[in-house]
Structure 1
Amino acid sequence: MEKTGMEQGGTLPLGKVKALVLTGLFAALGCVATMVLVVPSPTGGYMNLGDAVVLLGTYLLGPVCGAVAGGIGPALADLLAGYTAYVPATLVIKALMGLAAGLLYRVLRRRRWALAVCGAAAESIMVVGYWLYDGLLMGSLAGSAVGIFSNLVQAAFGLAASTLLALALKSSRYVRREFPNL
């Protein structure tokens, strides 16, 4: 019976260690990006730079690691910033954003417009997800609709920033070699 890396001495294969470290790094970057620029929204939440990191992390790391990092980082930011009511929603919504963008990007990545389409699909999950969650918190979907505009602004910025950053990184042979998902 062949032994795995964990059974041989408690270590992970280098590829798994790299994936774990990069996932943690992008979770930390997502947390920081979410907390750096905070613009309060009408529903009690806030607009931030985190979506750009969620999407970029997904394009670089792939759908699963991107979803994990994308959910944990911004959820941790909500916890640290005192928005505890939003932690579970952020964890799920941002993870779904990353998963959707990553899976769609696997299918479309050879097309020039893939980043924009994948980002738009992911951001629509964010806008609808927070609208529904705010509706749950407020007891009114009509009342929570007031937050849609600020979420659309955040979505547009996250989409534009992640697309521009991904295109710039994609032009680097080194980045393409180190991050084959891009």
Structure 2
Amino acid sequence: MRRRSLLKGNKKLIYAALFAALCCVITMYPKFPTLFGYIHAGDALVLLAAYVLGPLWGALAAALGSSLADLMAGYVQYFPGTFVIKAVMALIAGGLLVRFGEKKPILTTVLAGLAAEVVMVLGYFGYEGALLGYGWAAAGSIPTNIVQGVFGAAASSALFAALLKTPYARRELGLRMPHDPDKR
């Protein structure tokens, strides 16, 4: 989906701030506590930020919003890990959409989302095991992270598909359908 973003300057910064706030709120409410943190719907917004804002701005919004949610929810030990993991997720998902999403953007968002969620599952396993000192017990978080990841990938793809079909969102956010003429 090689495209130049129509979002420029202050507008892009404002949308990044809005996505960061959405990532934070959707990560915090509703949440379902587990032994190693909590399951939430925030990954859907992490990926959607990457699809709408692009890899770099999406990574910034996702990292800030998600790590702020951990901080505000009392999971301070996860703040640095979440910042890095969510940024990498958005970089991967947004980068894959930019590179391969020109003809089949929805299929690409599903596959890019799943690839990014693999990074999330492995990233939290490594972070909890090595840096938080949980060792192999960190493997206990893998099943819940997989559930969260599959939901996030599916929900973000559905939301992105809805945005692509909305003329206002396409115009305002600079999104293009595969059959749209290139308007640079």
Tell me which residue corresponds to 1:115: 109
* TM-score normalized by the length of structure 2: 0.87
Deviation at 1:139, TM superposition (A): 4.3
Alpha-carbon distance in 1 for matches of 2:142, 2:31 = 17
Query: RMSD in angstroms over aligned alpha carbons?
Result: 1.4
Unaligned ranges ≥5, structure 2: 1-6, 177-184
Residue of structure 2 in register with 1:150 after alignment = 144
**Aligned pairs, number:** 167
Aligned AA (2:29) = V
Once the two structures are TM-superposed, the CA of residue 176 in structure 1 deviates from its matched residue by: 1.9
Give unmatched runs, 5+ long, in structure 1.
1-13
Over residues 98-142 of structure 1, what are the superposed CA-to-partner deviations in whole Å (9 max), with x where a residue is unaligned?
Answer: 1110011001212251111110011111100000011021341x2
Scaled by the length of structure 1, what TM-score is found?
A: 0.88
- Equivalents in 1 of 2:139, 2:81: separation in Å? 16
Higher-Rg member (1/2)? 1
1:42 deviation in Å? 2.3
Matching of residue 46 in structure 1 with residue 38 in structure 2: yes
Q: Which of 74, 83, 90 is equivalent to 1:82?
A: 74
1:23 is displaced (CA, Å) by 0.5
SS of residue matched to 1:138: coil
SS in 2 for 1:113: helix
> Alpha-carbon deviations, 1:11-34, whole Å to 9, x = none?
xxx921001111011000000000
Give the aligned residue type for 1:35: M
Matched residues, percent identical? 46
Q: Quick one: which of 162, 167, 171 aligns to 1:173?
A: 167
Alignment of 1:115-134 (within 5 A): 115-134=109-128
Distance apart, 1:55 and its partner CA: 0.6
Q: Is 1:33–2:48 an aligned residue pair?
A: no
- Runs of 4 or more, structure 1, over 6 Å off, are none
For each residue in 1:34-78, what CA deviation from the matched residue of structure 2 results, as whole angstroms up to 9, or x when unmatched?
0001111222x1111110001111111111110000000010010
CA distance in 1, matches of 2:15, 2:127: 30
